Amino acid sequence: MGRLTVSSKGLAWHQKGHPWIFRDDLETVQDADSGAIVVLETKNGRFLAQGFYSDRSKIAFRLVSRSPEKIDARFWKSRIQEARRYRERVVAGTSAYRLIYGESDGIPSLIVDRYGDHWVVQTLSQGAEKIMETIAALLRELFQPLSILLRNDLSVRSLEGLPQEKKVLHGEPPALVEVFEGDIRYRVDLWSGQKTGAYLDQRENRLRAGRLLQGKVLDAFCYQGLFALHAAREASQVVAVDSSQDAVNRARENASLNSLDRIQFIRENVFNFLKAQTEAGERYDGVILDPPAFAKSRSDVAAAARGYGELNLRALRLLNPGGILVTASCSYNILEHDFLDIIRKSARDSGSDLRLIGRYTQGADHPILISFPESYYLKCFFLQKVN
Ligand code: SAH
């Protein structure tokens, strides 16, 4: 079995609980194969933990267990069962949710999403890649899925020296799968939709927004229209905008699937759309802003902050007094208090003040591991314009 020894700095970091060790914080690497389970030790040879080794990534070690137990199919089975029991407690009213969220479920860099009887898997490190067949066999044993699709078309895999690919692991994944979320139904494109087909992380916020929004509502960055569909149940009129034609087409189909004819879908750049709407004197009672991550890395933070600021300012100009802004950032690198600062400045620039109705994050099926700040990425504020 491969062995890694940590530097004093790496040891302090590990003892604080973070599940990763960076290559710079390793002193020696012995017999460690790419993706293998290795032992992490102190310089004196004291056992610390076991985890996945990567021979390419800056993240050389990903924690799997703090004890010297055997890491085999039985071990992975118990991790999956634990993840399942947790979801049974925190997920309700949907047939689509995340079963495994990497480190937060003790299976680093593995993503498993469920869409009814169809499943999608992503392996984002050499270690997760190596156990993929075992995981697929366990999913079949524990859940009897109709199909399992591997959606490994992610650029982060190149950091691990892994190729981009899509592969069927079981059954025949259909082109579209119909699922439900609260009172609405939608069809997911497992093969080429964004993420694994849907933004499951916003589910709880979509349900909240659906209960709260009234009047004329704008869903900006609507993707397949899910915020719009939930909002359309109470709102008198909904406008939904996305720059992707595929997304708008899918969103229209989802609206007709739910017999919701109060939604107008527009393919446009949201920044331009907001500006044009202000110039045209349009006003809304609710605006949802759910943009893609503007800060993919730390070096993007300043530009991203300007982007979020501009976006929120434009949205606030369109909002009637008493109107509701639902504004999200899925950039890990923009922390919650930074995001609130950005919104505060946009509010000031728009000449209005905001009441914070609630601050939320990704759904509980994407649990935040508090020793692993990287697992906390989604911020979603619900605000009311007070003047
Ligand atoms: N709210 C959606 C998820 C949105 S993901 C949901 O709950 O499912 C972000 C979306 O923004 C993507 O669909 C992407 O196509 C779109 N997008 C990215 N940049 C854009 C821009 N400048 N203008 C409009 N849409 C954009």
Say yes or no: CB of residue 226 within 6 Å of ligand 1.
Answer: yes
Active site residue 380: no
Three-state DSSP class for residue 297 = coil
The CA-atom distances, in angstroms, between 317 and each of 161, 214, 267, 279, 347 are 46, 18, 21, 10, 9
pLDDT band at 369 (very low <50, low <70, confident <90, very high): very high
Could you tell me if 114 and 141 are in contact, meaning their C-beta atoms sit under 8 angstroms apart?
no
The burial of 337, by beta-carbon neighbours within 10 Å (0-12 exposed, 13-18 middle, 19 or more buried), is given as exposed
Q: Which two tokens stand for residue 84?
A: 């399942």
Average pLDDT in the 22-41 region?
98
Q: What is the pLDDT of residue 187?
A: 98
The residue contributing the CA closest to ligand 1 atom 3 is 223
Q: What is the pLDDT of residue 341?
A: 98
Could you tell me if 105 and 167 are in contact, meaning their C-beta atoms sit under 8 angstroms apart?
no
Q: What is the pLDDT of residue 347?
A: 98
* pLDDT tens by residue, 281-314: 999 999 999 999 999 899 999 999 999 999 999 9
Q: Please count the other Cβ atoms lying within 10 Å of the Cβ belonging to residue 281.
A: 7
Say yes or no: CB of residue 158 within 6 Å of ligand 1.
Answer: no
Amino acid identity of residue 176, one-letter, is L
Average pLDDT in the 41-69 region?
98
Say yes or no: CB of residue 265 within 6 Å of ligand 1.
Answer: no
Say yes or no: CB of residue 269 within 6 Å of ligand 1.
Answer: yes
pTM over cut 0.95: yes
Residue of 83, 235, 330, 354 marked catalytic: 330
Three-state DSSP class for residue 377 = coil
d(CA 347, CA 181): 32
* pLDDT tens by residue, 251-273: 999 999 999 999 999 999 999 99
The burial of 310, by beta-carbon neighbours within 10 Å (0-12 exposed, 13-18 middle, 19 or more buried), is given as middle
Q: What is the pLDDT of residue 387?
A: 75
Strands, E assignment, 23-181:
26-30, 37-41, 47-53, 59-65, 96-101, 110-115, 118-123, 147-152, 165-170, 177-181
Share of the chain above pLDDT 70, in %: 100
Could you tell me if 308 and 315 are in contact, meaning their C-beta atoms sit under 8 angstroms apart?
no
